Each structure stands twice: as structure tokens, then as C-alpha cells.
Amino acid sequence: MITIKTAQEIELMRKANVIVRDTLDLIRDKIKEGMTTKALDKIAYDYITKCGAVPSFLGYSGFPASICTSINEQVVHGIPSDKVVIKEGDIVSVDCGSIYKGFNGDAARTFMIGKVDDKVKKLVEVTEQSFFEGVKILKEGVRLGDLGHAIQSYAESFGYGVVRALVGHGIGRDMHEDPEVPNYGREGHGLRLRKNMTIAIEPMINMGTHEVYMLDDGWTIVTEDNLPSAHYENTVAITEDGVEILSL
């Protein structure tokens, strides 16, 4: 069921998403070669709880950490570990969520560590821009197929693969609500967006094939061809004539 949020509910989501944004900004400032992904997880947990919020990923369907940390060919849902050390040239996708007074925030960024190969840097930049290419067209009445097409056509113009096995989602009292929000689609098709709907738009873009598979840990999704992947996400609220990006 799709829920249309009240102004008061969107204000609480705004606060939840500011906490997520600031957590990711803090990680951007702290992340460096030689750190473990478990150390990043502690930074996130400490900051989110200090803000009076709850890390929404921690315990979600059994997930054991406050953030997801996915490195290089890992697309999403990487589990932080004290055995995983960040290296020069890595890209690290960090997905983060918080619950503030019953409402969720959700966003992701891909961080580049030190000197990153130019081709990989381009992938990260295009992934982020593909989000904004989608947002450009959004307002009340726009169809989800139009959003997905805008993201897909931009990313594929660079020869990249747009992940299909995983999609964005509605968000509110629950982290994952209806509708599903694909990063691919056909213009003129799909659900029409309504004012005060809140959705998480999250392009997951691969350097090569769009195909992915899950590792034996039951969480980590990786590219089929082991080429790098980047992830960029924000929670947005649909307005009459555009969107408000709640996590920027």
C-alpha cells in the first residue's frame, strides 16, 4: 500500500534524513586507507544514536551492522568487518539509514580512496549524476517508468550496466514501502507519482554487465563479471512542481 505523507510526517522524515546525510558526511571526512569497514560502522552507530535516532539497518532482517559497506565489485549490502581493510584506489559504497521518532531516512554514497583509476572515477561520477538526471523530470503526475528511463538512458549512454535485480523503494514509517522504484523503465509507463509521496531513488550502476549475484554470506551482492559498481541514493518527497531531496 502506498502512503501519502502529511506535512508533519515529512518534517520528521526530513530530520531522519538530515541525520543520515550528516552521518555520511562524517564518514566522508574520516574514511581513509588502512581503516576497517567495522571502524566505519562504529562511527555511524555512535553518531546516529547521539542524535537520538536508531540505526535502521541494525537487525533489519538479521543484518548485523548499522551501515552497508560495499567495496569495488560489491554492489550493495556488504557487511562491515574488522577483517576488511580499505585500500588505496578502492571505491567504498556506504548505505545508511536512521529512524527518528518513527520515521525513516535512507541514503548512500560511493567514496573514492586516494588515487582511483580514471575509469572507475568516471563510473562513480556518472552514477551520482544519473540520480540527478532522474530527479530533473520529477513532479506530481510523472510516471515511475519516466524516472527509470531517465536514469537508465543516462547511465547506459556511457556503456554501463544498470542493475535490475535491486531497485529503490517507497519509504516512511517503514524503511521499505510501496512502490518499487526501478532505475530502468519505459517512458509513459508505470505508477503516477503523487504529491507528498516519499521514495528512495538509488541508482546502482556497474562498469560492465548489469548482472549480479549474492555471496555465501547471504547479504553481499556483487557484479557477475567482477567489475566495479557504484551506488548513490537519496530520499525525496514529491511536490506539486518538483521534488525536495530530504537527504541533501
How high is the pLDDT of residue 15? 98
pLDDT tens for 171-226 read 999 999 999 999 999 999 999 999 999 999 999 999 999 999 999 999 999 999 99
pLDDT at 175: 97
Cis peptide upstream of residue 182 (ω within 30 degrees of 0): no
What pLDDT is attached to residue 13? 98
The pLDDT score that the predictor gives to residue 103 is 98
Mean pLDDT rounded to a whole number for the chain: 98
**pLDDT at residue 116, as a whole number:** 98
CA distance 215 to 222: 7
When pLDDT is averaged across residues 155-179 and rounded to a whole number, the result is 98
pLDDT digits (tens, 9 = 90+) for 8-50: 999 999 999 999 999 999 999 999 999 999 999 999 999 999 9
Instruction: In whole angstroms, give the CA distance from residue 93 to residue 230.
Output: 6
- Model pLDDT, residue 117: 98
Would you say the pTM of this structure is higher than 0.75? yes
Q: What are the structural domains of the chain?
A: 7-245 (3.90.230.10)
Query: Residue 140: which pLDDT band, with cuts at 50, 70 and 90?
Result: very high
- Helix H, strand E, coil C: the string for 22-78 is HHHHHHHHHCCCCCEHHHHHHHHHHHHHHCCCEECCCCHHHCCCCEEEEECCEEECC
Q: Please, which residues have CB within 8 angstroms of residue 200's CB and are 6 or more apart in sequence?
A: 106, 107, 168, 169, 170, 171, 181, 233, 234, 235, 236
Over residues 114-134, mean pLDDT: 98
| pLDDT score, position 48 | 98
